[in-house]
Amino acid sequence: MRDEVIRRARGAVAALALAGLVVAPWVVDDYTTAILARTLALALVGVSVALLTGVAGMPTLGQTAPYAAGAYACAVVGSQISDVGVVQLAVAAVAGAVLAALTVPLVVHARGVIVLMITLAIGELAVTVLGRWRSVTGGTDGLAGIAAVRPFWGLPVLANDQDRYLYALVVVTVLVGAVLLLLRTRAGLLLRAGRDDETRLRASGHRVPLYLSGAHIAAGAIAGAAGSLLVVAQQYISPADFGFDTSALLLLGVVIGGTASIGGALVGAALVIAVRDWLFGVLPGHAPLVLGVLFVATVYLLPTGVHRARGRWGLPSEPADQPDASPERDQATVPELHR
């Protein structure tokens, strides 16, 4: 009964927020609209981070890699093949998924802090490649002058902030809706089960690495699609857009929003990015200080919001049996890795 009420309330809040986002461009100024469009792209990457960190239990700092792959693929397609948004979106998603698939062997067996460091390395390597592959990426100065996009064949190009924002909003809404639907299927059930207790899931006969690979590729596709949105929102991309600070802020945003909840992650990531961008405009020179204080304050304001980060979190030596552990200990399934 109470659950039903909460569910309804949540639905109502979500609907209200969506309605607010739809009318936003007519209420706020161009700057806010432009920033919101860009933030939507990053929030979508946040969703992919949450899918891996919270739902699949693989905390990641590397989603900037498929994000960048999608963005550059979209830019190349946009300048040489097609200015149709749907085409660019599909190409970007495929590029992100392919890159994620290539990195699957690196991440799928690792857990906890180890995944974090491997994905960090992947992200850094991706940025290095982007900076050096000048013929395609334009090097460290980035690619400017990317042609405007038309959402669908026959539609006009997106020429102003409102159009670009609404396009981004539609894409993000559709993709997030798809993710939420996906999580309600057996695939989502299995991912949540794996996060709760991976050893148990294996003991039931499930091919956990296969599921994690699938989640990783799906998250890569989402991040890739987000890359295409960044191109639309910003009409410029450079390796700096995909650096470590982006991935760190996204992970922290997802943590603030509650890693296990896609909606929370969306809001959290959007909030962190929006506040960062806003601070650099209004408090020149003091943005990092204020941002840092806000992060610290967030931990105290939302102490329980971040407590749910569990599952495969914790040191990786824990679930694997250690030679020096007592014979009786090594069968412990350790559902929660608080040491």
Site residues (CB under 8 A) for other proteins, limited to 122-181: 122, 124-125, 128, 131-132, 138-142, 144-146, 161
Task: Map residues 217-236 to x or -, x wherever contact with other proteins holds by CB under 8 A.
Answer: -----------------xxx
Cα separation, 218 vs 207, in Å, equals 17
Q: Tokens for 2?
A: 């109470």
Q: Which of 11, 18, 81, 200 binds other proteins (CB under 8 A)?
A: 200
Q: How far is the CB of 155 from other proteins (least distance, A)?
A: 20
Stretch that binds other proteins, among 66-74, 94-102, 171-179, 257-265 (CB under 8 A): 257-265
Q: How far does the chain reach from its first CA to its final CA, in angstroms?
A: 36
Q: Which of 5, 23, 135, 328 binds other proteins (CB under 8 A)?
A: 328
Q: How far is the CB of 266 from other proteins (least distance, A)?
A: 10
Stretch that binds other proteins, among 66-74, 82-90, 218-226, 328-336 (CB under 8 A): 328-336
Residues whose CB is less than 8 angstroms from the CB of residue 164 and which lie 6 or more positions away in sequence, other chains included: 34, 37, 158, 232, 233
Cα separation, 309 vs 295, in Å, equals 17
Question: What are the angstrom distances between the C-alpha of 67 and each of 3, 28, 95, 99?
Answer: 36, 28, 9, 9
Task: Map residues 46-65 to x or -, x wherever contact with other proteins holds by CB under 8 A.
Answer: -------------x------
Q: How far is the CB of 178 from other proteins (least distance, A)?
A: 16
Size of the site for other proteins (CB under 8 A): 146
Q: Which of 48, 137, 246, 247 binds other proteins (CB under 8 A)?
A: 246
Task: Map residues 81-120 to x or -, x wherever contact with other proteins holds by CB under 8 A.
Answer: ------------------------xxx-xxxxxx--xx-x
Burial of residue 47 (number of CB atoms within 10 Å: 0-12, 13-18, 19+): buried
Q: How is the chain split among helix, strand and coil, in percent rounded to 5?
A: 70, 0, 25
23 binds other proteins per the rule CB under 8 A: no
Q: Tokens for 163?
A: 């159009």
DSSP symbols for 162-226:
HHHHHHHHHHHHHHHHHHHHHHHSHHHHHHHHHHH-HHHHHHTT--HHHHHHHHHHHHHHHHHHH
Q: How far is the CB of 30 from other proteins (least distance, A)?
A: 4
271 binds other proteins per the rule CB under 8 A: yes
Q: How far is the CB of 96 from other proteins (least distance, A)?
A: 19
Nearer to other proteins, 99 or 154 (CB): 99
Compute the residue count for the chain.
339
Nearer to other proteins, 139 or 180 (CB): 139
Q: Tokens for 330?
A: 């090594």
Interface of this chain with other proteins, residues 24 to 43, rule: CB under 8 A = 24, 27-32, 34-36, 38
Q: Are 338 and 314 in contact (CB under 8 A)?
A: yes
Q: How far is the CB of 108 from other proteins (least distance, A)?
A: 8
Interface of this chain with other proteins, residues 293 to 322, rule: CB under 8 A = 293-309, 313-317, 320-321
> Which residue type occupies 171?
V
Q: Which of 70, 84, 260, 312 binds other proteins (CB under 8 A)?
A: 260
11 binds other proteins per the rule CB under 8 A: no
> Which residue type occupies 302?
L
